[in-house]
């Protein structure tokens, strides 16, 4: 057994050595080489076809990887959209169904690309490796044939003086065997290479039809789904413009956040920042400009303070531009007791009551004792409320543009919290005008036009002072 294995190895080494020697002699031009121009042309076509198939297979595999990545990204995006699309909005359930349809379309698209395009392409590309092996084998057998042909020619020349028929017969047999093996492979390749080259058109047509058909179906169905999604969003936009989902703006008496954060808190009441004392008519300039609790001097102010203590009612907002000083509010500890849900609608974030008003209608909580109080103090209080809509004392009305009631100057910065409000900085000048619709007028708020840019909107009166 060992001798047989050794003989096989020796025979293989001898073959490789003989082929190497023959190629060297052919390259040096010492011996001729069997030429086959037709086969060489087939081989060139095969090489181009194989390179094209390899490139197509590489690019399409990369395309499928990208499609799968897009599918994952699309699913994540639509899931995020579904999370932020609130359940009470129009078309919520339909949007969820359509986003699920998109993911199913992606899955079907990927399945078609893999089964109908990639697998046939891999099969087509796999033919070239088998054909390449046969071509390489044909090249080795051609070298063996040329080598035997040259050996037999040398043997014939060496027997010019003395003929050895045994050697000649053996050499002839080896030559014929090498030629027969080569001819068989060469003949097969002469048939198979042209057939394989011609098959490229049919394969390409079939493969591209599958690809383009899958693309067309996917994008058509996907477009329908996204048209439905667009319609859902359009309907939401229309309903939003009608105010279907808008949070109703609180009445003018409620204060903006930045005013509340800087307001003094006394007796569970949040008041906006008051203008400096020196800017209020009738107040001496040397008094400190900070909200303090003072003792009321007249009977009207005493009555209002008494009503606040007994009923815990929410007082009317301070009137910053009246001739008399605003009523002081007695100090009281901030109420930190738990507030029920039904009461929280009239309280701010610090559990303090907020005055809710609209137009000339003022909502207050007054106990039976205050409700029956019909003395002169109540008449004075009502008069103060009505003065909110009059031109304040000290405001100049001369030489004003048409439609302008008077002008004010911002004493505090204000940032709007709604689209119909004005934002302004300290010292900006605003022209006060009438409301387009008197019914929209809100107590404590004015309608004005900024002089620097002509912007129009509502603004809190106690953030300004008259000019």
Q: pLDDT for 186-197, tens place per residue?
A: 999 999 999 999
Distance CA 358, CA 361 (A): 6
For residues 297 and 8, the model is more confident at: 8
Give the CA-trace dihedral at 422, 425, 427, 428, to 10 degrees.
Answer: -40
| Domains along the chain with CATH numbers | 15-241 (1.20.1270.60), 259-389 (no CATH), 404-466 (2.30.30.40)
Of all residues in the chain, the percent with pLDDT exceeding 70 is 67
For residues 369 and 55, the model is more confident at: 55
Which tens digits make up the pLDDT trace of 366-382?
344 344 444 444 444 44
Which tens digits make up the pLDDT trace of 446-456?
999 999 999 99
Q: Note the pLDDT of residue 8.
A: 65
Q: Note the pLDDT of residue 217.
A: 95
Q: Note the pLDDT of residue 330.
A: 43
Q: Note the pLDDT of residue 11.
A: 67
The answer on pLDDT for 242 being more than 60 is yes
Question: Averaging pLDDT over each range in 87-91, 261-265, 341-345, 439-443, which range is the top one?
Answer: 87-91
Q: Note the pLDDT of residue 160.
A: 67
The answer on pLDDT for 332 being more than 50 is no
Which tens digits make up the pLDDT trace of 183-222?
999 999 999 999 999 999 999 999 999 999 999 999 999 9
Distance CA 412, CA 420 (A): 19
Those residues with Cβ within 8 angstroms of residue 272's Cβ, 6 or more apart along the chain or in another chain: 255, 259, 260, 263, 317, 460, 462, 463
Please give the full DSSP string across 322-352, using - where no structure is assigned.
Answer: SSSPPPP----PPP-S---TTTGGGB-TTS-
Which tens digits make up the pLDDT trace of 93-121?
999 999 999 999 999 999 999 999 999 99
Q: Are 313 and 365 in contact (CB under 8 A)?
A: yes
Q: Note the pLDDT of residue 95.
A: 93
For residues 444 and 338, the model is more confident at: 444
pTM listed for this prediction: 0.47
Mean pLDDT of the chain: 75
For residues 181 and 322, the model is more confident at: 181
| Per-residue confidence band for 154, with pLDDT thresholds at 50, 70 and 90 | confident
The answer on pLDDT for 364 being more than 70 is no
């Amino acid at each position: 057994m060992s001798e047989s294995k050794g003989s096989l190895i020796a025979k293989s080494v001898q073959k490789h050595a003989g082929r190497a020697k023959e190629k060297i002699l052919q390259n040096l031009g010492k011996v001729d080489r069997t030429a086959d121009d037709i086969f060489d042309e087939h081989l060139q076509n095969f090489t181009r076809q194989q390179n094209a198939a390899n490139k197509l297979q590489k690019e399409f595999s990369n395309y499928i990887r990208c499609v799968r990545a897009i599918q994952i990204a699309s699913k994540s995006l639509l899931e995020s959209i579904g999370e932020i699309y609130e359940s009470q909005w129009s078309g919520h359930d339909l949007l969820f169904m359509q986003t699920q349809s998109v993911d199913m379309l992606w899955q079907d698209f990927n399945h078609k690309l893999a089964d109908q395009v990639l697998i046939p392409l891999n099969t087509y590309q796999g033919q070239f490796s088998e054909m390449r092996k046969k071509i390489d084998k044909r090249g080795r057998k051609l070298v063996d044939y040329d080598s035997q042909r040259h050996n037999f020619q040398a043997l014939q020349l060496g027997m010019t003086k003395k003929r050895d028929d045994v050697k000649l017969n053996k050499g002839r047999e080896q030559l014929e065997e090498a030629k027969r093996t080569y001819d068989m492979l060469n003949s097969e390749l002469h048939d198979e290479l042209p057939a394989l080259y011609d098959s490229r058109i049919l394969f390409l047509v079939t493969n591209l039809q599958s690809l383009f058909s899958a693309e067309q179906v996917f994008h058509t169905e996907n477009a329908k789904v996204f048209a439905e999604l667009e319609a859902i969003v359009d309907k939401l936009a229309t309903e939003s413009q009608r105010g279907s989902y808008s949070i109703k703006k609180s009445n003018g008496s409620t204060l903006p956040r930045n005013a509340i954060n800087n307001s003094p808190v006394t007796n569970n009441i949040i008041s906006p920042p008051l203008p400096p004392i020196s800017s209020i008519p009738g107040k001496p300039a040397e008094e400190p400009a900070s909200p303090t609790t003072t003792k009321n001097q007249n009977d009207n102010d005493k009555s209002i303070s008494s009503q606040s203590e007994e009923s815990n009612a929410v007082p009317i907002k301070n009137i910053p531009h009246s001739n008399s000083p605003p009523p002081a509010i007695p100090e009281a500890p901030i109420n930190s007791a738990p507030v029920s849900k039904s009461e929280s609608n009239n309280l701010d974030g610090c559990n303090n009551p907020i005055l809710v008003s609209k137009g000339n209608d003022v909502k207050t909580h007054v106990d039976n004792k205050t409700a029956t109080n019909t003395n002169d103090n109540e008449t004075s209080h009502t008069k103060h409320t009505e003065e909110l809509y009059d031109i304040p004392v000290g405001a100049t009305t001369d030489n004003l543009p048409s439609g302008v009631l008077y002008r004010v100057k911002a004493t505090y910065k204000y940032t709007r919290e709604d689209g119909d409000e004005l934002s302004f900085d300290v010292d900006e000048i605003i022209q006060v005008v009438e409301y387009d619709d008197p019914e929209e007028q809100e107590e404590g708020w004015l309608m004005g036009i900024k002089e620097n840019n002509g912007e129009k909107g509502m603004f809190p009166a106690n953030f300004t002072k008259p000019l």
